[in-house]
Each structure stands twice: as C-alpha cells, then as structure tokens.
Amino acid sequence: MHLPDQAPEQSRHRAASLRFRRALTLMAMTLVLPGSAQLVAGNRRVGRIAVRTAATIAATAVLVLLLGALSSGAAITLLTQGWILGLVRLGLMGLAVGWVLLFLDAWRLGQPLGLAQRQRLAVTGVNGLLCFTTAGALLFGANVAGVAQGLVSDDGVLSSGEASEPWEGRYNVLLLGGDSGADRWGLRPDSIMVASIDEETGQTVLFGLPRNMADFTFPEGSVMAREFPQGFDCEGCYLNSLATWARDNHEIFGSKKSAGIEATLEAVEGITGLPINYWAMVNLRGFRNLVDAVGGVRLNVTQPIPVGGVGAPIDYYIEPGEDKLLDGFETLWFARSRATSDDYSRMARQKCVLNAMVEQLDPMTVVTSFGDIAEASKAMVKTSVPASELSTFVPLAMKARSQPIRTVSFVPPLIDTGNPDIALIHERVRRALGDSPRPEKKAAVPTTPLDPSADENSTGGSLGTFADGYAANDSDDLDSVC
C-alpha cells in the first residue's frame, strides 16, 4: 500500500549517498593526485597544470632517491647547496598554498550545499583535516629547508672555504670548547681535543690536550714559531691563554677575528705533530641548548657533581646514578664542574659527554628535532669545515658511530704539563694511529660493571685517580669506561 511513497524516498536516499560519496571521492583524488578532481569534474586546464606539476615533482624526487642510492655523497652535495635549499623552501611553500586551493575547489565541486547537514559537516571536516595536514607537512618541510639553508650560508655554522685533503688517510679536526659570544670565537678555550678520523672506516682517535700545558713549541716556519722560536715559555703562558695573546697581537695574523684559533691550531700541530685539516669551536653555553633540543643525555654519574663553586657557592649536587638522564644545564655542569676535582678528571668527564652525544644522537633524533638542533647549532658551533665537505663528513660520521672511540690524553702521569716531552707525545700519537703496537695503559680501567653507588674507584666523577690516570683519558674504547 505504501510502495509508491517509499520508492521516491529510496531514490532520494540513493542520490544523497551518491553525492556524498562523490564529494569524498573528489577530495581523495586530490590527495592522491592533485588536479585529478579538476580533470574529472572541474576546470580541466587547472587540472592539467596541477597534474603535470605533481608528476614533475614526483619524477624529481625519484631521481634524487636514485642518486642517493647510487651515490649518497652526490645527493648530499646536491641537497646542501644554499640556492637549491632556497628553491626547495619556496617550492614547498607554493605547493602548500596550491594544494590547499585544490582541496577547496574539490570541496566546491562536491556541491556540499546539496548534501544533508550531517554529510555536509562531515565533508567539510574531512576537507579541513586534509588541508591542515598536507599544508602543515609541506610548510614543516619548507621550514627545515630554510633552517638547513641558514646552516650552510656564509654566516651559518659551516665555512665557505676550500676543502682540505686528508693526511695519511685521516682527517684531523681540532675541537675547541669555551665560553664565546658573537665576536669572541676562540677566546680562552676551556677544552682542547683533536679528533683524528680514518677517511675510510670512520675509526676515531681522540687526543686530549690540557689547557694548562706550557713551554711547548710551534711548527717550524709558522707565525708563532717566528714570535716564540724557543717555545711558548713566557710567564703565565699556557695553551688556553694563547688565543688571548694572539688576539692582542692580531696584526701578525692579519685578522683579529681568527687570530686566536690560528695561534691555537699552530700550537696543537706543534704539540701533536699532526697537521690539522679543520677546526670546530663549540660555545659551551650554547651546548646546553643542543642537549635540550635532543631531549637530554644519559650519563653514568659515579659521584656527586657540584653545580657551581670555584669563585661562587655550590648550589647543589647532581646525584649519582647509572644511565641518568641529564638536561642541558646539568650536562654542561657535568662536563665543566671542577669545584671538587682536578682538571684531568674534568677532561675525562668531557670525553664521556662527547661519547654519549655520539652514541645517542641517532638519525631519527636528528630528523625529528632537526629545527631545534639546527638553531642550537648556529648559536653553538663555528667551524672551518666547508659546506662542500658535508658529502664526505656525513657518511663518515655514520661510520664513526659504529666504531669504538680510542682516547689518548697528554696529562699526568704520562706528561708533565709544565715541561712536556714533545718527542714522547709525538711517539704516542703515532702509536695510537697504528704505526706501532699500543703500550699498556696506566689508567685505572674497571674490570667489573659500573656501580654508581660505589665511588671508591672514582675521583671527581671520573674513573681513576690523579696519580694513576683517568680511564676515559686513555682507553681503547671510550664507551667502556664511561
């Protein structure tokens, strides 16, 4: 009896369902292939332009991936060009706007006003979600490209200088840590190390030089050798004060800005006998921001480490603990504290912090926190490594992460820092790099698992003692003694 009334109702219901599915389909088409909805139901000219643009971008991405598979170095070189990163940034921003406009047009083509209220709300909500997620992802990518462009720019972290050839198959990089401002790079470094990295395997030897080393000589023919032919043996002249002296006498270097680093580099070359390829200056206060950017660092704290002290009251202590998560502020104090320890114990702790960063700063962390890491790095690091060498050092860094770090430090009991035996230092450098068998270590290396609650084998938070040496300062595997 009611069939004549039900048929139109069913027909209207089917028509409404078809319109709803059509509206969703048009948005799905825009998500999968931007412009396809316009080709089917809208302005075909707009659709053709959008589809061709999407195809070009997809083809370019495939080519870059193939290039990366065939030669990661070539792909890194390509993607670290400032002008390319600038184009990528602008392109991603344009794509974000264009894709949103295509989604809005697809919503219009779906005729939302002809839908039931619930369906209209659902279509509008889905469209808004798609606009937000696609545009958000593209704009995030644009921000990453912009940050990366800043890193490789002339006023960024990297240099625009010439590449340096490896020495006997190794890159020797001088690492300097200290308090620096925008115009104070190289002023009185607090931490001085040389990382010697095998160009094939990434195997790294870390040489530590005490900041209070005195009476050392410079390489023959160097600027500082002409000024101090008998060595840096003046009153109060130490390795870390060399940068200040050079800045005060910058005219002999030709540049006040780089005088401190150049003088320190010459000193380190004379002390170690190693030619230095590049240097990197780390602002230790900026280092705090880097640690926070990666979510903190896990360290084994064997003894209470004072925060503060030496000219100021001790505020509190970092309590002992195994695999303890420290934030940037605490990590900085773990590396720098000397209120209850000697300089050489502190050097050992600094190496353990460096080891922890190498171990824990994995590729996923870098990707997910790239923006924060990059911003912290710009305020923290200045280096002579040119942007063109990223294609060499990025793969090398990945190899280095899988290798144990060997350490050698020119500190007591091996070396008298006030009257260093330079010939012995050169011999130890050669041995560490594999020219002859490595001698037995004098440092106290633990033979049992680390117990953070027991500190009888530690001094100032580092395994070992002043008399016997600290394990992290002289080890075949830094991770095993940290």
pLDDT tens digits for 155-212? Answer: 656 666 778 899 999 999 999 987 654 444 445 688 899 999 999 999 999 999 999 9
Tokens 């939302």, residue?
112
pLDDT (0 to 100) of residue 373: 76
Task: Kindly report whether the peptide bond that precedes residue 437 is cis, defined as omega within 30 degrees of 0.
Answer: no
CB of 352 closer than 8 Å to CB of 480: no
pLDDT at 50 over 90: yes
Nearest by Cα to 49 from 39, 59, 63: 39
Q: Over the stretch 429-454, which tens digit does the pLDDT of each residue have? A: 999 998 534 444 444 444 444 444 44
CA distance 209 to 272: 9
Q: What is the C-alpha to C-alpha distance for residues 430 and 350, in angstroms, rounded to an integer?
A: 23
Q: How far is CA 410 from CA 140, 238, 266, 426, 461, in A?
A: 46, 14, 17, 10, 20
Query: What is the Cβ-side half-sphere exposure of residue 185, based on CA atoms within 13 angstroms?
Result: 21
Q: What is the pTM of this model?
A: 0.76
Q: Find how far residue 263's CA is from the centre of its chain.
A: 26
- pLDDT at 456 > cutoff 80: no
Largest CA distance in the chain: 118
The 10s digit of each residue's pLDDT in 128-146 is 999 999 999 999 889 888 8
| Structural tokens at position 348 | 């050992």
Domain ranges of the chain: 3-152, 170-481
At 481 the pLDDT is 92
pLDDT of residue 25: 94
Q: How many CA atoms lie within 13 A of 449 on its CB side?
A: 2
Evaluate if residue 231 carries a pLDDT over 50.
yes
Q: Please say if the pLDDT value at position 99 is more than 90.
A: yes
Over 70: is that where the pLDDT of 245 sits? Answer: yes
- pLDDT of 178: 79
Enumerate residues 6+ apart whose C-beta is below 8 A from 16: 115, 116, 119
Neighbours of 230 (CB within 10 A): 9
HSE toward the beta carbon, residue 112, CA cutoff 13 A: 19
Instruction: Kindly report which listed range (66-80, 192-206, 362-376, 440-454) carries the lowest average pLDDT score.
Output: 440-454
Helix (H) or strand (E) holding 224: helix 223-227
How wide is the angle at C-alpha 413 spanned by C-alphas 411 and 415, nearest 5°? 50
pLDDT in tens, 276-334: 999 988 887 778 888 988 889 999 999 999 998 877 888 999 999 999 999 999 999 99
- Contacts of residue 188, defined as CB under 8 A and 6 or more positions apart, other chains included, come to 178, 179, 240, 241, 243, 244
In three-state secondary structure terms, 120 is: helix
- DSSP helix/strand/coil, 307: strand
Question: Which residues does 119 contact at the CB level (< 8 Å), separation at least 6?
Answer: 16, 19, 20, 23
Q: Find out if CATH 3.40.630.190 is the number for domain 170-481.
A: yes
Nearest partner of 68 among 55, 77, 59, judged by Cα: 77
Per-residue pLDDT, 455: 57
Q: What is the pLDDT of residue 274?
A: 96
